[in-house]
C-alpha cells in the first residue's frame, strides 16, 4: 500500500515535470527537454564531481600540481573569461578543472555549473597541443553554457526514475539527491545529439578564438581523434558524435573566427579576474586583488559590449543597422507570450545585448517587440537605430499594439516621449 503510494507520488512528480519540460535555450533559442531545474543540475553535479574526484584522488589519479595541470587551468581560465560574456550568470558558477591521470583515456567533460576534467590520454595518446586542448575544453564549456548537460541530466533522471523507484527505500529527498547525482554522472557519458554537437562546436571554437587560441586547431583535433587507431574509437567520440560535414563546417567557422583570434593574440592581457577555484578562494569566498574587478562586475561589463556570439551575428548586425523588421504573428504568438516576462527581466537588469537577442529570437510582430529593440539599441548607444525602432513601435501599435499596460510598459507613451513627440 505504502509502496504504491510512493509510486503515485513519483508518477505525479514526473507528470508535473513533463508539463514544465520544454525550455528555450538562453544562447541558441532552441527548445530543450528539461525536467531537472538548473539549480538542481548545478548543485547535484558539484556533489557528484566532488565524490568522483575524491575517489580518484585516493587512487592518486588526480594531477594536482603537474605542469600540464597548471597549463590546463591557465587555458580554461581564459576560456571562462570569454564564456561570461555570453552568459553573465555563469560568473557565479564554482568553476573547477582537474587533470585525471588515465593515459589510456581520450576524454574530457564539463558538468552543469562548470565542473570540468580532462584525461591525460589527451596528451599521451593524442599528443594534443595547447591550442587543441583549448578547443576540447571550449567545446565542453559550450555544452555546459548551452545547457546540454542539464538536458542530458534530465533525460538520465527521467529514465532512471522509472526503473529505480521500486528499489529504493530511502526518504524522498535523499532519493532525489542520489538519483540526481547519478544522473549527473550518466549525463557526461550519454552521447550528445548531433544538433547539440553543432552548437558546442560553434560556441567552443569562438570562445577559444576570443581567448587567443588558433581556430585551425579545431580541425586538427577532430582529425587526430578520427585517426586514432587501436580498434576502438576514443571515448570522446562516442559521447560527441560527429555532425555531418564536421570538418568542412569547422574549417568555414575557423575562417570566420580568424579576425577574432588575431585580435585576441595581439591584444594586451585583459583585466579578467580568475574564475577557477584556486588557492586564493578561501572558504568559497573569492579574494580579489586590489583594483581587480569581481567576477560579477567583469561579467556585467563585458556582457554589455555590443558584440554577440558570431552565429547570432547576422540578425544582430541587422539590428544594429536599424534594419530589423518583424512579420511573424500567429506562428510566433505562443513563444512571444512565454518569453515576454524574460524581456522585462533583461530590461530591468539593463542587459541590452541579451535583450536584443531575446527579441530577435522570437521575431514577433508587435509594438512591444520594436519597443524592446529600441530600448536595447538606446542602451547600447545606437541612437539612430533606437529612433527607427521607436517609430516602428508606434506604427505597429496602430494594428498590433498590446495596450497601455504591456508587461508594465505603456508603449505608445514611452515611445513618443523617447522620440520627443
Nearest residue to the partner Zn ion, using Cβ: 240
State how far the Cα of 266 lies from the Cα of 164, in Å rounded to an integer. 55
- DSSP codes, 27-86: TT--EEE--S-HHHHHHHHHHHHHHHHHHHHHTT-EESS-HHHHHHHHHHHHHHHHHHHH
Q: Smaller CB distance to Zn ion: residue 192 or 340? A: 192
Q: Smaller CB distance to Zn ion: residue 131 or 354? A: 131
As measured in angstroms, the least distance from the Cβ of 156 to Zn ion is: 16
State how far the Cα of 364 lies from the Cα of 329, in Å rounded to an integer. 6
Residues that bind Zn ion (CB under 5 A): 192, 197, 200, 240
> Which cell goes with 233?
574509437
Helices 313-320 and 352-362: crossing angle in degrees, nearest 10, is 110
As measured in angstroms, the least distance from the Cβ of 145 to Zn ion is: 12
Q: Smaller CB distance to Zn ion: residue 200 or 355? A: 200
Q: Smaller CB distance to Zn ion: residue 220 or 288? A: 220
Outline where 146-191 has alpha helix (H): 148-164, 172-187
Nearest to residue 306, comparing CAs of 387, 222, 381?
A: 381
Q: Smaller CB distance to Zn ion: residue 203 or 332? A: 203
Contact 53, 98 (CB under 8 A): yes
Q: Smaller CB distance to Zn ion: residue 197 or 235? A: 197
Backbone dihedral angles phi then psi of residue 95, each to the nearest 5 degrees? -55, 140
As measured in angstroms, the least distance from the Cβ of 211 to Zn ion is: 18
State how far the Cα of 285 lies from the Cα of 120, in Å rounded to an integer. 30
Q: Smaller CB distance to Zn ion: residue 188 or 200? A: 200
Could you tell me which residues come within 8 angstroms of residue 179 by beta carbon, excluding any fewer than 6 positions away? 157, 160, 161, 164, 168
Amino acid at each position: 500500500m505504502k509502496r504504491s503510494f510512493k509510486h503515485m507520488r513519483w508518477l505525479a512528480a514526473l507528470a508535473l515535470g513533463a508539463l514544465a519540460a520544454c525550455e528555450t535555450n538562453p544562447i541558441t533559442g532552441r527548445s530543450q527537454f528539461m525536467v531537472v531545474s538548473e539549480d538542481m543540475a548545478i548543485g547535484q553535479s558539484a556533489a557528484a564531481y566532488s565524490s568522483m574526484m575524491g575517489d580518484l584522488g585516493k587512487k592518486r589519479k588526480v594531477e594536482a600540481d603537474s605542469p600540464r595541470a597548471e597549463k590546463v587551468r591557465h587555458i580554461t581560465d581564459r576560456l571562462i573569461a570569454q564564456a561570461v560574456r555570453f552568459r553573465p550568470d555563469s560568473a557565479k558558477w564554482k568553476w573547477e578543472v582537474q587533470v585525471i591521470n588515465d593515459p589510456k583515456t581520450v576524454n574530457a567533460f564539463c558538468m552543469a555549473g562548470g565542473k570540468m576534467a580532462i584525461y591525460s590520454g589527451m596528451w599521451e595518446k593524442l599528443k594534443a597541443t595547447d591550442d587543441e586542448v583549448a578547443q576540447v575544453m571550449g567545446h565542453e564549456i559550450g555544452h555546459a553554457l548551452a545547457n546540454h548537460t542539464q538536458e542530458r541530466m534530465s533525460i538520465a533522471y527521467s529514465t532512471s526514475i522509472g526503473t529505480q523507484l521500486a528499489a529504493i527505500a530511502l526518504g524522498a529527498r535523499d532519493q532525489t539527491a542520489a538519483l540526481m547525482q547519478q544522473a549527473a554522472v550518466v549525463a557526461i557519458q550519454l552521447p550528445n545529439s548531433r544538433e547539440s554537437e553543432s552548437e558546442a562546436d560553434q560556441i567552443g571554437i569562438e570562445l577559444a578564438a576570443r581567448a587567443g587560441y588558433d581556430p585551425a586547431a579545431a580541425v586538427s583535433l577532430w582529425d587526430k581523434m578520427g585517426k586514432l587507431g587501436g580498434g576502438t574509437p576514443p571515448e570522446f567520440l562516442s559521447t560527441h558524435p560527429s555532425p555531418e560535414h564536421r570538418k568542412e563546417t569547422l574549417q568555414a567557422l575557423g575562417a570566420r573566427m580568424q579576425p577574432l583570434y588575431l585580435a585576441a593574440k595581439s591584444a594586451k592581457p585583459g583585466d579578467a579576474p580568475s574564475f577557477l577555484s584556486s588557492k586564493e578562494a578561501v572558504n568559497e569566498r573569492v579574494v580579489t586583488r586590489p583594483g581587480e574587478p569581481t567576477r560579477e562586475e567583469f561579467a556585467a561589463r563585458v556582457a554589455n559590449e555590443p558584440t554577440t556570439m558570431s552565429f547570432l551575428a547576422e540578425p544582430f548586425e541587422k539590428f544594429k543597422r536599424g534594419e530589423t523588421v518583424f512579420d511573424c504573428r500567429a506562428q510566433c504568438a505562443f513563444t512571444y507570450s512565454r518569453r515576454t516576462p524574460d524581456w522585462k527581466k533583461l530590461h530591468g537588469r539593463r542587459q541590452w545585448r541579451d535583450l536584443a537577442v531575446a527579441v530577435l529570437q522570437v521575431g514577433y510582430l508587435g509594438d512591444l517587440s520594436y519597443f524592446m529593440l529600441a530600448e536595447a539599441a538606446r542602451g547600447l548607444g545606437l541612437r539612430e537605430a533606437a529612433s527607427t525602432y521607436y517609430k516602428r513601435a508606434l506604427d505597429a501599435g496602430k494594428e498590433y499594439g498590446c495596450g497601455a499596460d504591456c508587461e508594465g510598459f505603456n508603449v505608445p507613451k514611452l515611445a513618443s516621449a523617447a522620440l520627443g513627440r
